[in-house]
């Protein structure tokens, strides 16, 4: 043991003071010949896309070339903890993160020479609140980057966290106003020919074909052979060209049949709401003592994007006394004619029925816009918020107080205009 300790002391002296036998001067700092660890981190939002593998490979190359210490692979939740199906979606997200982590680790291990001092971290973020659009996604992403000392964000060019609506341009713009450096991975997208072949096959094609043929025969004569021939031809053309565009999620069993069944239940409910609203509007018009108070209102809804949001917006428009003017992210801007129409809007009856159609009874029990305090009156003496639409038209921005538009034209392209048909 004595010989071992002496050898250890000699080795320590050599490491601290150079050659054996050279004393270490008081006040001299020992010199350690070890590689310096890189600093900073790079954040990559992750979703299962055709270009995710190439994006991960580019992130590893960038981390090695530019000296980043950590690669953060994050998935931003498009759901909230406690929502129906949230556990399944979180588990699917974890599987995607595990696959992305395996790719990054493999690329780091395959580097020639010594393995780079780069750590791969995965995280699921944003599941503790509802995220309605690009601004919310950017806020959560920027907060994560700041908390983890990351100063760069690398975006997958096919990043589509909300349904099939690409958020790349709004994310790039919003992140460009932060202290983070933003880059889109220079990877090759799949060709359009591959996508057309995908659109023309599978469950989407079968669902679109069935819907188109049924609609054609309802308008025509289902007992006439010529209508069958032309209907099949028309349904095939529609399915080839629109199956992926019109159906934003893959049809499945039993989800799709249950949505159709709940949609059939919703039709008489919507007709009842239309009749009731007609009576209320007619009564106000015929009785001059009753108030007519046209106002613009804002209501943030929890129905998701794509088809559910379109269903709710047009259901509101079909109901007399209310007209959906704009659907932006999950904010609906609705013009109401009378106070009772505005109250019915804030009470969220149509929103709850829309959630019932697409997500089932459990989702229908979520709080209403009034209970969540997700609604506001934008005009009149009872206004609770300034109207933000004026800023997009060149008026004063309520946030900055100046006349410059609050957001650029690129983000306005993400807005869904809903018209009264």
Per domain, the residue ranges of the chain are: 41-184, 192-246, 255-412
Tokens 């350690």 correspond to 32
Is the separation of the CB atoms in 74 and 172 below 8 Å? no
Residues 6+ apart with CB under 8 A from 416: 309, 310, 313, 326, 327, 328
Is the separation of the CB atoms in 281 and 320 below 8 Å? yes
Is the separation of the CB atoms in 142 and 74 below 8 Å? no
Calpha distance 240→376 (Å, rounded): 43
Q: Which residues pair with 377 in a beta bridge?
A: 297
Residues 6+ apart with CB under 8 A from 279: none
With bands split at pLDDT 50, 70 and 90, how would you rate the model's confidence at 297?
very high
pLDDT for residue 202:
74
pLDDT for residue 222:
85
Please state, for a pLDDT cut of 70, what percent of the chain lies above it. 71
pLDDT for residue 276:
92
Is the separation of the CB atoms in 127 and 13 below 8 Å? no
SS3 per-residue string spanning the chain:
CHHHHHHHHHHHHHHHHCCCCCCCCCCCCCCCCCCCCCCCEEEEECCCCCCHHHHHHHHHHHHHHHCCCEEEEEEECCCCCCCCCHHHHHHHHHHHHHHHHHHHHHHHHCCCCCCCCCEEEEEEECCCCCCCCHHHHHHHHHHHHHHCCCCEEEECCCCCCECCECCHHHHHHHHHCCCCEEEECCCCCCCHHHHHHHHCCHHHHHHHHHHHHHHHHHHCCCCCHHHHHHHHHHHHHHHHHHHHHHCCCCCCCCHHHHHHHHHHHHHHHHHHHHHHHHHHHHHHHHCCCCCCCCEEEEEECCCCCCHHHHHHHHHHHHCCCEEEEEEECCEEEEEECCHHHHHHHHHCHHHHHHHHHHHCHHHHCCCCHHHHCCEEECCCCCCCCCCCHHHHCCCCCCCCCCCCCCCCHHHHCCCECCCCC
Which CATH superfamily does the domain covering 41-184 fall into?
HUPs (3.40.50.620)
pLDDT tens-digit series, residues 206-261: 878 888 888 888 888 888 889 899 999 998 888 887 766 666 566 667 777 888 89
Q: What is the mean pLDDT of residues 348-357?
A: 90
pLDDT tops 70 at residue 32: no
Tokens 């591959």 correspond to 194
CB < 8 Å & 24+ apart, contacts of 312-315: 312/350, 312/351, 312/354, 313/416, 313/418, 314/418, 314/421, 315/270, 315/273, 315/350, 315/353, 315/354
Tokens representing 283 are: 């009564």
Tokens representing 101 are: 């982590």
Q: Are strands 331-336 and 322-328 parallel, antiparallel or unpaired?
A: antiparallel
pLDDT for residue 315:
93
For 344, counting Cβ atoms within 10 Å of its Cβ (0-12 exposed, 13-18 middle, 19+ buried), the class is buried
Measuring CA to CA, which residue among 240, 247, 90 is closest to residue 164?
247
Q: What is the mean pLDDT of residues 55-62?
A: 90
Tokens representing 45 are: 């939002």
Q: What is the mean pLDDT of residues 143-152?
A: 87
Mean pLDDT over the full length of the chain: 75
Calpha distance 195→164 (Å, rounded): 14
pLDDT tens-digit series, residues 73-124: 999 887 777 777 778 888 888 988 998 998 888 888 888 778 888 899 999 9
With bands split at pLDDT 50, 70 and 90, how would you rate the model's confidence at 9?
very low
Tokens 């980057």 correspond to 145
pLDDT for residue 413:
38
Calpha distance 337→292 (Å, rounded): 6
Beta carbons within 10 angstroms of residue 291's beta carbon: 9
Phi, psi angle pair for 191, to nearest 5°? -70, 160
Calpha distance 280→320 (Å, rounded): 9
């Amino acid at each position: 043991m004595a010989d071992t300790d002496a050898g250890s002391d000699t080795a320590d002296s050599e490491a601290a003071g150079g050659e054996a036998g050279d004393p270490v001067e008081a006040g001299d700092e020992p010199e350690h010949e070890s590689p310096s660890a890189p600093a900073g981190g790079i954040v990559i939002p992750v979703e299962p896309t055709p270009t995710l593998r190439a994006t991960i490979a580019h992130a590893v190359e960038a981390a090695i070339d530019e000296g980043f210490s950590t690669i953060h692979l994050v998935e931003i939740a498009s759901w909230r903890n406690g929502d129906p199906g949230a556990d399944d979606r979180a588990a699917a997200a974890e599987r995607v993160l595990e696959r992305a982590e395996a790719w990054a680790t493999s690329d780091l291990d395959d580097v020639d020479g010594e393995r780079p001092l780069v750590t791969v971290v995965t995280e699921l973020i944003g599941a503790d609140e509802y995220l309605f659009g690009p601004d919310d996604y950017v806020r959560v992403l920027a907060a994560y980057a700041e908390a983890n000392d990351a100063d760069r964000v690398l975006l997958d060019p096919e990043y589509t966290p909300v349904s099939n609506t690409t958020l790349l341009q709004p994310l790039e713009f919003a992140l460009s106003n932060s202290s983070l450096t933003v880059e889109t991975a220079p990877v090759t997208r799949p060709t359009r020919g591959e996508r057309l072949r995908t659109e023309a096959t599978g469950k989407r094609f079968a669902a679109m074909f069935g819907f188109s043929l049924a609609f054609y025969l309802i308008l025509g004569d289902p007992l006439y052979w010529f209508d069958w021939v032309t209907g099949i031809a028309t349904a095939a053309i529609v399915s080839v060209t629109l199956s992926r565009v019109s159906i934003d999620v893959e049809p499945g069993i039993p989800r799709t049949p249950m949505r159709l069944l709940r949609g059939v239940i919703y039709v008489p409910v919507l007709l009842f709401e239309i009749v009731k609203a007609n009576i209320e509007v007619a009564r106000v018009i015929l009785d001059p003592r009753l108030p007519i108070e046209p106002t613009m209102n804002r209501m943030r809804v929890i129905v998701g994007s794509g088809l559910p949001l379109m269903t709710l917006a047009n259901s509101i428009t079909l109901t007399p006394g209310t007209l959906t003017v704009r659907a932006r992210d999950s904010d609906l801007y609705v013009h109401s004619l009378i106070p009772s129409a505005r109250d019915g809007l804030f009470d969220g009856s149509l929103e709850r029925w829309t959630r019932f159609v697409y997500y089932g009874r459990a989702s229908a029990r979520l709080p209403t816009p009034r209970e969540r305090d997700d609604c506001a009156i934008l005009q009149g003496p009872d206004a609770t918020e300034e109207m933000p639409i004026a800023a997009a038209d060149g008026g004063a921005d309520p946030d900055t107080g100046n006349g410059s538009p609050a957001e650029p034209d690129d983000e306005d392209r993400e807005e869904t205009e809903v018209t009264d048909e």
